[in-house]
């Protein structure tokens, strides 16, 4: 059975069900597992010996929360993360995640509409974790991200994107050509329609989908190896993923 790719509507529905009375997960739990999977993906592809300095770029929503969790875990893995989050989320969960990063002595750039600090940080980094926009993103890209995405994209640094590359439509992909072009993608729960043709290394993470939910939505998820939080997916030209 082929792996199911999710529309924006179905992705939202599954998220809501996970956190419903029936699913019984809290947002904290899901974010922790998602962020751990993101950190593990980056560490799998980019070793801390060759790529120690990670710039974690966070948006103001749940995607940014995943990024903050990933930054903390990367710090624990021995990397040297720096956080760029120009619009910190106002919810208590984001403030707690930020405090956890502060307690790990992970530097966070001061929030600003000016992207000069981002430019400087890119020059001092080895790899970027893109946790800016998630599956609920709707264009246009607004400030300061409209300036930030081209800066990140032209930096020459390898990019690991969380769930959907920032600037991509969750169903149409990078149809407008304004989004990032990552080297690695870590899809959460299940991959989204817009990344069917993604040609980089593609991982699945978020090892929290229950058997009940997987069967209900016919997700046909691959088996995770051992105790790993991630599983690598075949590229579109490989067997089982033909376009």
- Helix axes 27-45 and 62-77, enclosed angle (nearest 10): 50
* CB neighbour list of residue 126: distance below 8 Å, 6 or more residues apart: 46, 50, 51, 52, 53, 54, 157, 158
Strand partners for 230: 205
* Burial status of residue 68 (CB atoms within 10 A of its CB: 0-12, 13-18, 19 or more): buried
Detail the residues annotated as belonging to a binding site for K(+): 63, 130, 166
d(CA 200, CA 56): 19
3-state class (DSSP) for residue 186: strand
Q: Is the dihedral of CA 139, 141, 143, 144 positive or negative?
A: positive
9: which DSSP letter?
H
Query: To which residue do tokens 């990032």 refer?
Result: 180
Detail the residues annotated as belonging to a binding site for (6S)-NADPHX: 62-66, 134-140, 163
**Contact in structure between 132 and 59 (CB atoms under 8 Å):** yes
**Contact in structure between 208 and 185 (CB atoms under 8 Å):** no
Q: How many CB atoms lie within 10 A of CB 129?
A: 32
Q: Give the H/E segment covering residue 177.
A: none
């Amino acid at each position: 059975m082929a792996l199911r790719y999710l529309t924006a509507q179905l992705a939202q529905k599954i998220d809501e069900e996970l956190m419903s009375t029936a699913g019984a997960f809290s947002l904290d739990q899901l974010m922790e597992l998602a962020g751990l999977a993101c950190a593990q993906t980056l560490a799998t592809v980019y070793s801390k010996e060759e790529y120690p300095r990670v710039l974690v770029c966070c948006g103001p929503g749940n995607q940014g929360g995943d990024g903050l969790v990933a930054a903390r875990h990367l710090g624990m893995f021995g990397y040297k993360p720096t956080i760029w989050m120009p619009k910190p989320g106002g919810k208590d969960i984001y403030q707690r995640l930020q405090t956890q990063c502060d307690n790990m002595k992970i530097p966070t750039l001061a929030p600003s509409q000016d992207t000069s600090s981002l430019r400087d940080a890119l020059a001092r980094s080895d790899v970027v974790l893109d946790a800016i926009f998630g599956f609920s993103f709707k264009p246009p890209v607004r400030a300061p991200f409209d300036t930030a995405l081209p800066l990140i994209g032209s930096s020459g640094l390898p990019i690991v994107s969380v769930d959907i590359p920032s600037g991509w439509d969750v169903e149409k992909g990078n149809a407008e050509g304004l989004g990032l072009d990552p080297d690695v993608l870590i899809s959460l729960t299940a991959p989204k329609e817009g990344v069917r043709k993604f040609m980089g290394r593609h991982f699945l993470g978020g090892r929290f989908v229950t058997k009940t939910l997987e069967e209900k939505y016919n997700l046909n998820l691959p088996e995770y190896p051992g105790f790993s939080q991630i599983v690598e997916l075949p590229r579109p030209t490989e067997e089982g993923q033909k376009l």
